[in-house]
Amino acid sequence: MRDGIKIIMFCGLAAALAFFAGCSAKYQYGDAGDTPMYSTGFGPGELQQIADRMTASLLTFPPIVEVTEQRRPVVVVERVKNKTTQHIDTESITDSIRTRLIRSGKFRFLDKSRDGQTIDEIRRQQELGLTRQDQAAQFGTHEAAEYMLTSSLSEIEQRKAEVWQRRKMVYYKFTMNLMNVRTGILEWADEKEIVKLKDAPRIGP
Amino acid sequence: MKRIQYPAALVALLAICFGCRSTATSGIEGSSTVMLDADGGTQYSEYVVVNNPRVARGLQIVDLDQQFVGDILRAQVTLASKYSRTRNYKYRFSWFDETGVELDAGARHWLPLLIHGYETRTLQGVAPNPSARQFKINIRAR
């Protein structure tokens, strides 16, 4: 009889230990290339899918392949027009696309967001008297952008309530265009559609 | 007393298993290499590795294809579902130069793959730069 009580106590202790070990907070590094999905909001997984699609599409579009075989055109990126109801750091989408295109060795980019700092640096080189004037950067020497990348992100949300479940669907569409600045012609365009679904019990969060 | 011991042992076992629960992240892997001859011809070498028979039972790599678009390598992988229901997987392309060095190592992402029952689906990947000569695709359950 005593042995039996001991076994029960041991099993209970083991179960309690395992339960609390499983419930305790854990901190560890995750894989940035494999982010989990916790909501229907726009997340890093969607950013990666969009950047992957847009880069692959642009690099393999025949007229663009023809142009980039001969030279590396200069491109400027415009801010993404965010038509969703969410606050999204859309600059990180275009940053990812720009980084991949630069690393492909096919395009060169101008960074308009650094214009203020560039002007300050050129003024510093020219006016403070610290820099050798034969090496100082001059105004009016930047290359002009040949192409402009414009993009927009839109969202459609639908909900459905059933007897036991609440369903939610969020549809995202990212559209990107490459416009020839001199002619105004759209040389390339593509879009990426993403659908995120949520099935939740009727009662609960 | 035995009536109490067995359920208690079962509870302990379940709790331990629940605490240590982890899912297998292995899957199947396909690779294709382009070898350029001195006379301008091309040869291809392909292989498929099954690291997780459970994934391989539901999904088959039917074909590994590649072509150059300009000087950029584009890969196309044809998959066939062997299940009647819709399944979710993840896939990732990796790229290597002619010496076998991975390009942009660690920068590739797992992308979602939803495949319907008995569907045949092609996936495409584009190399990050013109030096790619080999690609590898990893597919795993979600």
pLDDT of residue B39: 75
Strands, sheet with B111-115, edge to edge from the N-terminal-most edge strand: B42-50, B27-36, B134-141, B87-96, B111-115
Q: Which of B5, B70, B112 shows the shortest C-beta gap to A4?
A: B5
Q: Which residues pair with A75 in a beta bridge?
A: A109, A147
Is A145 within 8 Å of A75 (Cβ atoms)? yes
Q: What is the Cα–Cα distance from A204 to A38, expressed in whole angstroms?
A: 16
Query: Which two structure tokens, joined as six digits, stand for A41?
Result: 């909001």
Full domain range(s) for residue A65: 40-201
Chain A CB contacts of B112 under 8 Å are 45, 49
**Per-residue pLDDT tens digits for B10-43:** 665 665 555 555 677 888 989 888 877 777 777 7
pLDDT of residue A164: 83
pLDDT of residue A108: 97
Asked, for residue A30, whether it belongs to a domain, the answer is: no
Contacts 24+ apart (CB under 8 A), A56-62: A56/B74, A56/B124, A56/B125, A56/B126, A57/A188, A57/A190, A58/A101, A58/A178, A58/A188, A58/A190, A59/A101, A59/A104, A59/A106, A59/B69, A59/B72, A59/B126, A60/B69, A60/B70, A60/B72, A60/B74, A60/B126, A61/A188, A62/B69
pLDDT of residue A1: 57
Instruction: Please say if the pLDDT value at position B97 is more than 60.
Output: yes
Closest by Cα among A154, A199, A149 to A177 = A149
Which H/E stretch holds residue A188? strand A186-201
Cβ within 8 Å, pair A65-B72: yes
Cβ within 8 Å, pair B111-A52: yes
Query: Which two structure tokens, joined as six digits, stand for B131?
Result: 């030096």
pLDDT of residue A23: 65
Asked, for residue A13, whether it belongs to a domain, the answer is: no
Chain A CB contacts of B109 under 8 Å are 33-34, 48, 52
Chain A CB contacts of B27 under 8 Å are none
pLDDT of residue B69: 94
Measure in Å the smallest separation between the Cα of A165 and chain B Cα atoms.
20
pLDDT of residue A6: 80
Could you tell me the CATH number of the domain that includes residue A184?
A: 3.40.50
Query: Which two structure tokens, joined as six digits, stand for A33?
Result: 């290339």
pLDDT of residue B103: 94
Cβ within 8 Å, pair A34-B109: yes
- By the 10 Å C-beta count (0-12 exposed, 13-18 middle, 19+ buried), A189 is classed as middle
Is A191 within 8 Å of A175 (Cβ atoms)? yes
Q: Which of B4, B15, B110 shows the shortest C-beta gap to A18?
A: B15
Q: What is the Cα–Cα distance from A189 to A179, expressed in whole angstroms?
A: 9
Number of H helices, E strands in chain A: 5, 5
Measure in Å the smallest separation between the Cα of A169 and chain B Cα atoms.
16
**pLDDT tens for each residue of chain A, 205 residues long:** 567 778 788 877 877 777 666 667 889 898 888 888 999 999 999 999 999 999 999 999 999 999 999 899 999 999 999 999 999 999 999 999 999 999 999 999 999 888 899 999 999 999 988 988 999 999 999 899 999 999 999 999 999 988 888 999 999 999 999 999 999 999 999 999 999 999 988 776 6
Cβ within 8 Å, pair A65-B69: yes
Measure in Å the smallest separation between the Cα of B13 and chain A Cα atoms.
7
pLDDT of residue B104: 87
CATH entry 2.60.40.3230 includes domain B26-141: yes
- Residue in chain B closest to A63 (alpha carbons) equals B70
Q: What is the Cα–Cα distance from B6 to B17, expressed in whole angstroms?
A: 16
Query: Which two structure tokens, joined as six digits, stand for B122?
Result: 């092609």
Whether ipTM > 0.85 holds is no
The pTM score is: 0.83
Asked, for residue A67, whether it belongs to a domain, the answer is: yes
Chain A residues interacting with chain B (CB cutoff of 8 angstroms): 1, 4, 7-8, 11-12, 14-16, 18-19, 21-22, 31, 33-34, 45, 48-49, 52, 55-56, 59-60, 62, 65-66, 68-69, 100, 103-105
Average confidence (pLDDT) over B39-50: 81
Cβ within 8 Å, pair A103-B129: yes
DSSP reduced 3-state for A160: strand
- Structurally, how many domains does chain A consist of? 1
pLDDT of residue B58: 92
Asked, for residue A4, whether it belongs to a domain, the answer is: no
Domain ranges for chain B, please list them.
26-141
Query: Please, what sign has the CA dihedral across residues B16, B17, B21, B27?
Result: positive
Instruction: Please say if the pLDDT value at position B83 is more than 60.
Output: yes
